[in-house]
Chain A
Amino acid sequence: MAYIYTAGIIQEVPGTSEELYAGSGAVFSVQKLPTDPIFYASVVIKNIVVGSRYLLIDTNNDTELASGEAVSQDFDLENIPVSSDPMLVEFRVRLSGTLLKYLPYKSYGYVNRNGATLYVSQVEDTVAT
């Protein structure tokens, strides 16, 4: 059974396959929840100190987008859900090692359909030991 959508009414078309046809003046739309991402993008992290703990936050709603521990100086955070275009994100980095400690680092960036690149510039904490 097929259906035809025209003038705001869905009608059955007997003896046809299960497809939906648009008649004159029909409008199809995809509905989504406000919490659904509008797309996914990659965020590239550069120059982070290996071993640092990081946290990526959507500043619109303070939700965590990604977190972890850096295993290399540069890496990509893939499939970051984007809730607005552009989306302002906060990137926090902390590292407190036994030999070296760094000041808590925080920066911001905009993520759009092309993603974003965040360059990290941590400063060694010379007061803490």
Chain B
Amino acid sequence: MSYLFDFGTKLIHILSPQTEVDIQDLLDEIRTQEATEKGITYGKIADASGKEVLGGSVSVGVTLELLGWQIKFWEGNYIAKVAGGNLVGGVSGDPVAYSAGVQTLLIQSAASTVVQVSTGSGLSSEEHDQLMGLDTDTVPTAVWAESDRGSKLDFVYSIEGGKWTIVGDQMVFFSADNLTEIARFNLYDANGNPTMANVMTRTRI
């Protein structure tokens, strides 16, 4: 993981090509930076809580509170992810600074837990049998049919991860390789006329 701490602006820059931040990793790096020759001349960067053992190998998840600091991902068209615990605090309650083109997926939980697994899957043989005994043939109506699931998820992934472009009164979506076209929409203004500006309606073709 690569981070750059700017004590002047109170920004933790996430450097390319890293697109995911693990809370535990971020906390460890924060404590290291606080203890540097430069870091000690500034106040604390963050508070953290959690990890109380709930029994066995299960413990409370980590919550990291940034004290006036924010993390900032490098600019680009991608989906960034913050996981492994809760990230709170920051500036006006926002722990993530704006970066052009970046959508940040902040995974928070009011009751997050950490399960320590030394080997295997972490399930007991009883839990394993229970899981394997589930009826997988019955698919709820609200969920895509198993046969369609892969292609539909691929489509969503491609929409979010690939290039978008507006050309000739149409919006064109590409897959993550930015080359393969996956969807094309006609664009219309408020009067139903084809347009590339002030778009009010799109229709897939």
Contact = CB atoms under 8 A, between A and B. Distances in A.
B49 A127 contact: yes
A25 to B, nearest CB: 51
A48 to B, nearest CB: 13
Contacts of B50: 127
Interface in B14-52: 24, 27-28, 30-32, 34-37, 39-41, 44, 48-51
B11 interface: no
Interface in A72-129: 92, 94-96, 101, 104, 125-129
Contact of B34 (A64, A67, A96, A129): A96
B12 interface: no
B96 interface: no
A46 interface: no
What is the size category of the interface that chain B forms with chain A?
Answer: 10 to 19
A55 interface: yes
Interface in A42-59: 53-55
Contacts of A53: 35-37, 40
Contacts of A129: 24, 28
A67 to B, nearest CB: 7
B88 to A, nearest CB: 14
A128 B47 CA distance: 10
Given A96-B31, A96-B34, A104 B48 contact: no
B47 to A, nearest CB: 9
What is the size category of the interface that chain A forms with chain B?
Answer: 10 to 19
B71 interface: no
A55 B42 CA distance: 11
Given A53-B35, A94-B35, A96-B34, A67 B27 contact: no
B35 A96 contact: yes
A127 B48 contact: yes
A11 B133 CA distance: 111
B44 A104 contact: yes
A127 B27 contact: yes
B35 A127 contact: no
Contacts of A95: 35
A67 B48 contact: no
Contact of A94 (B28, B34, B48, B62): B34
Nearest to A51: B35
Interface of A: 53-55, 64, 67, 92, 94-96, 101, 104, 125-129
7 nearest interchain CB pairs?
A: A94-B35, A96-B35, A127-B48, A96-B31, A96-B32, A128-B31, A104-B44
Given A95-B35, A127-B48, 19 more contacts: A53-B35, A53-B40, A54-B40, A55-B40, A64-B41, A67-B40, A92-B40, A94-B34, A101-B31, A104-B35, A125-B31, A125-B48, A126-B51, A127-B27, A127-B51, A128-B27, A128-B28, A128-B30, A129-B24
